[in-house]
Amino acid sequence: MEKSAEGSCSASTEKMNTSGGNGQVLDGSGIMELVGNEEVFGSYVDHKFQELDRDRDGKLSLKELEPAVADIGAALGLPAQGSSPDSDHIYTEVLNEFTDHGKQEKVSKTEFKEVLSDFLLGMASGLQRDPIVILRIDGEDLLEFINGPDYEAEMVLLFSQLESPDGSSLHDHIVKVLEQLTVDQGMPPSSDSWVMSNLVERALQSCAAQDHGKPLSQETFLVEFKKVAERVAQHLKEQPVIVAHCENTFDGSGIKRLLCNKFELDKTLNTATENAPKDHNGKISREYLRVALDAIAPSAGLPPIGAIHEMDEVIGEVLKMMNADDGKLVKEDEFKKMLTEIMGSIMLQLECNPVSISSNTVVHEPLASSTTLLPPSS
């Protein structure tokens, strides 16, 4: 199953369509229907605009736009603003889209509607190509796994791979192995704090105390792990967990398609550079290459910078090789040529070493911090 970065794990932005098995799919259709219905979308924008327009002056200030920018960032799968310099500039770019790249301090309802429509249609397009699977984990698959024929062999392998320094407890071993289980085995990600406190830690209360004078035996581990897993399955039966499952493979094919279409490439490069800050001679700093590449990312099948660590490393190496941060000023044509060469280098690296990402995100609804700007799932 191949997914792209645009199919971000955000269940609050799209209608879920039933798919086969125990999953549902976010495929962009709900967003397309909303934006495509002028009357409904107009009413939706009116409501959201009034929510944001705190001083009721009929325009949105930069301060009033902040919740909208934060919601779009969350929908794109970005970390919270202020937590990563690599992704913070994306939030700045989103704000710039609303304010015509800093040329205005107030945004009208018409301008707000146009930008919001563009963002939503972009998200819908990504979801159409690469749907997100929404899973309801209720303990049945976990019970099937621990009672299945492959359980003992897999547990023995995982146990053998654990580092066992002196003083490491039975609890620690069980937690580490639970972290290795996936949604395929019926286990929601225990890296999620809610899963850890409400499922794992509760289940561990039934775990036998370990004699620290003796090394933990494989037999003891297998017996106690199964007890804990059964308790986790029982808790899941009582309170199922919803997980958004994404699989992304970046193999350079998106860049290749863009580079092979001269019309689309020229259009994309023009869009990426038209608002670039220029000196009095029309030259652009090479430091802007990173921002321009991020603007091109959706057209090239790349994730936003800061969203995926493995991709940041690939992109960072190429930018370093091209001396992208040296601040040198270059003519616009040379800037576009460099941007094209950077994409070509990234493509070659990904063709040789594709980056595959599988992520499972627990969907907490409702959340105080959940997105309020974008349409809810229905």
Q: Are residues 168 and 207 in the same domain?
A: yes
Q: Are residues 101 and 161 in the same domain?
A: no
Determine, yes or no, domain membership for 19.
no
The mean predicted confidence, pLDDT, of the chain is 82
Q: Are residues 227 and 284 in the same domain?
A: no
Q: Are residues 271 and 187 in the same domain?
A: no
Could you read off the pLDDT of 32-91 as tens digits, one per residue?
Answer: 888 889 999 999 899 999 999 999 999 999 899 988 888 877 776 666 777 666 667 777
Q: Above pLDDT 90, what percent of the chain?
A: 43
Q: Are residues 260 and 210 in the same domain?
A: no
Determine, yes or no, domain membership for 209.
yes
How many domains is the chain partitioned into structurally? 3
Identity of the highest mean pLDDT range in 118-127, 183-192, 243-252: 183-192
Whether residue 8 is predicted with pLDDT greater than 50 in this model: the reply is: no
Whether residue 13 is predicted with pLDDT greater than 50 in this model: the reply is: no
Q: Are residues 306 and 205 in the same domain?
A: no
Q: Are residues 235 and 266 in the same domain?
A: no
The sign one gets for the Cα dihedral 141, 145, 146, 147 is positive
Predicted local confidence at residue 79, as pLDDT: 66
Return the number of other C-beta atoms located less than 10 Å from residue 351's C-beta: 13
Q: Cα(272)–Cα(184) distance, rounded to whole angstroms?
A: 40
> SS3 letters for the chain?
CCCCCCCCCCCCCCCEEECCCCEEEECCHHHHHHHHCHHHHHHHHHHHHHHHCCCCCCCEEHHHHHHHHHHHHHHCCCCCCCCCHHHHHHHHHHHHHHCCCCCCCEECHHHHHHHHHHHHHHHHHHHHHCCEEEEEECCHHHHHHHCCCCHHHHHHHHHHHCCCCCCCCHHHHHHHHHHHCCHHHCCCCCCCHHHHHHHHHHHHCCCCCCCCCCCCCHHHHHHHHHHHHHHHHHHHHHCCEEEEEEEEEECCHHHHHHHCCHHHHHHHHHHHHCCCCECCCCCEEHHHHHHHHHHHHHHHCCCCCCCCHHHHHHHHHHHHHCCCCCCCEECHHHHHHHHHHHHHHHHHHHHHCCEEEEEEEECCCCCCCCCCCCCCCC
Q: Are residues 241 and 256 in the same domain?
A: no
Q: Are residues 181 and 282 in the same domain?
A: no
Determine, yes or no, domain membership for 212.
yes
Domain that holds residue 181: 137-247
What mean pLDDT do residues 114-133 have? 78
Q: Are residues 259 and 315 in the same domain?
A: yes
Q: Are residues 161 and 211 in the same domain?
A: yes
Determine, yes or no, domain membership for 16.
no
Determine, yes or no, domain membership for 369.
no
Determine, yes or no, domain membership for 169.
yes
Predicted local confidence at residue 373, as pLDDT: 63
The residue out of 109, 129, 149 marking a domain boundary is: 129
Could you read off the pLDDT of 291-331 as tens digits, one per residue?
Answer: 999 889 888 988 888 878 899 999 999 999 988 888 899 99
Determine, yes or no, domain membership for 372.
no
Amino acid letter, residue 202:
R
Predicted local confidence at residue 214, as pLDDT: 65
Identity of the highest mean pLDDT range in 68-72, 107-111, 243-247: 107-111
Q: Above pLDDT 70, what percent of the chain?
A: 82
Confidence of residue 151 (pLDDT cuts 50, 70, 90): very high
The residue out of 198, 229, 247 marking a domain boundary is: 247
Predicted local confidence at residue 60, as pLDDT: 92
Whether residue 268 is predicted with pLDDT greater than 70 in this model: the reply is: yes
Which residue in the block uniquely carries the two structure tokens 């066992």? 164
Per the CB < 8 A criterion, the answer to whether 342 and 302 are in contact is no
Whether residue 375 is predicted with pLDDT greater than 90 in this model: the reply is: no
Determine, yes or no, domain membership for 3.
no
Q: Cα(16)–Cα(33) distance, rounded to whole angstroms?
A: 13
CATH classification at residue 57: 1.10.238.10
Predicted local confidence at residue 7, as pLDDT: 36
The residue out of 92, 109, 129 marking a domain boundary is: 129
Strand partners, 135: 23, 243
What mean pLDDT do residues 350-366 have? 82
What mean pLDDT do residues 196-224 have? 80
Q: Are residues 152 and 209 in the same domain?
A: yes
What mean pLDDT do residues 130-145 have? 88
